[in-house]
Structure formats: structure tokens, C-alpha cells
């Protein structure tokens, strides 16, 4: 059983990344364009309005990058920050606990995205394909960590 969970782990992380990215993306599209549903209160954010438009832009771009697996750790890190700000700035003043202050989605997104910052994109990410096309080395491990070792500098003897 342990061997199965270890081999399936990177694949499950990849699916987890895609689901979290999609949900985060939809959270932003709702605020910006009223799709797939109208936002809470019925009004979309005006272009450039602080902080709603900027938060939604981070959600759309970050969610898309996370969903497809490009720059996952950086996109998740920025997204974690935006959700922490949303929680403490918008929700915390209305009560101590997320269930009291309507901050559950901010708190859950914050922690779900933090996991991706730490463990990386898993399998099914586009980043390794892009790295291969650019001729960058791909790590030997199969965890899908998203880290790419840098090629060593050529020595003077090779010139």
C-alpha cells in the first residue's frame, strides 16, 4: 500500500494543483466578469479599483498559472499573500474565527496554496515541458517539485 501511495502521490498533487488553481481562477473571474456566477452583491469590480480588482487579477492570473503548472511555486506564493491580506484586512475585523467573519474561503485558499509553495506542482505540469523546450536540465526525481538545476558553467579548459 505504501508503494502505491508513494507512486501515486505526485499524480495526486498534480490533480490537487489543477483543482485548487481552477477554483482560485473562478473566484477571480466571478469578481472581474461575473462568470461563472455574479459576485456577492451582484457588482463586478471596476477596472483598477483597490483592492477588489487587483485581488481578482491575482486570482485569475495566479489561478491560471497554478492550474496549468507554470511557475507554480511563485504564483502560489503571491496568491497566498493576497489571501492572507484579504483575510486579515477584510474579514478579521468581523470576528475571530473564519466561520464568524465569512473568511473561510480566504483561509482555505491561503493554506491550500501554501501547500503548493512547499511541495511544488506534482505531475501533469506544463513547466517541465517548457524547460525541456528551452534546453534546461530536468531534475532526476519524479516528484514534480518544479525545481530545475542550473547547468554548470563551462570551464576555461573547454574553450
Q: Is-contact 13 122, C-beta < 8 A?
A: yes
The predicted structure's pLDDT at residue 135: 86
- How big is the chain, counted in residues? 159
Inter-axis angle of helices 72-85 and 104-119, nearest 10: 150
- Please classify residue 97 by burial: count the beta carbons closer than 10 Å to its beta carbon, then call 0-12 exposed, 13-18 middle and 19+ buried: exposed
Comparing CA positions, the residue from 8, 14, 6 lying closest to residue 146 is: 14
- 30-69 pLDDT, tens digit per residue, is 999 998 888 777 888 899 999 889 999 999 999 999 999 9
Q: What is the dihedral of CA 146, 10, 55, 43, to 10 degrees?
A: 150
d(C-alpha 2, C-alpha 54), whole Å = 43
- 71-81 pLDDT, tens digit per residue, is 999 999 999 99
The predicted structure's pLDDT at residue 146: 47
Q: Collapse the DSSP code of 134 into the 3-class scheme (helix H, G, I; strand E, B; otherwise coil) and give the result.
A: coil
Task: Name the pTM for this structure.
Answer: 0.79
Comparing CA positions, the residue from 131, 127, 148 lying closest to residue 139 is: 148
What is the 8-class DSSP label of residue 90? Answer: I
d(C-alpha 76, C-alpha 109), whole Å = 10
CA atoms within 13 A on the CB side of 56: 21
Amino acid at each position: 500500500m505504501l508503494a502505491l501511495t508513494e507512486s501515486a502521490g505526485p499524480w495526486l498533487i498534480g490533480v490537487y494543483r489543477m483543482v485548487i488553481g481552477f477554483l482560485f481562477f473562478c473566484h477571480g473571474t466571478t469578481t472581474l466578469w461575473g462568470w461563472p456566477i455574479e459576485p456577492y452583491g451582484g457588482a463586478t469590480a471596476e477596472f483598477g479599483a483597490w483592492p477588489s480588482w487587483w485581488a481578482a487579477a491575482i486570482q485569475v492570473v495566479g489561478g491560471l498559472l497554478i492550474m496549468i503548472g507554470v511557475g507554480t511555486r511563485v504564483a502560489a506564493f503571491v496568491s497566498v499573500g493576497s489571501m492572507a491580506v484579504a483575510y486579515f484586512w477584510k474579514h478579521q475585523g468581523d470576528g475571530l474565527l473564519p466561520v464568524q467573519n465569512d473568511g473561510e474561503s480566504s483561509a482555505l485558499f491561503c493554506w491550500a496554496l501554501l501547500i503548493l509553495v512547499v511541495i511544488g506542482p506534482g505531475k501533469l505540469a506544463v513547466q517541465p515541458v517548457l524547460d525541456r523546450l528551452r534546453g534546461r536540465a530536468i531534475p532526476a526525481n519524479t516528484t514534480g517539485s518544479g525545481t530545475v538545476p542550473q547547468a554548470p558553467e563551462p570551464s576555461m579548459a573547454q574553450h
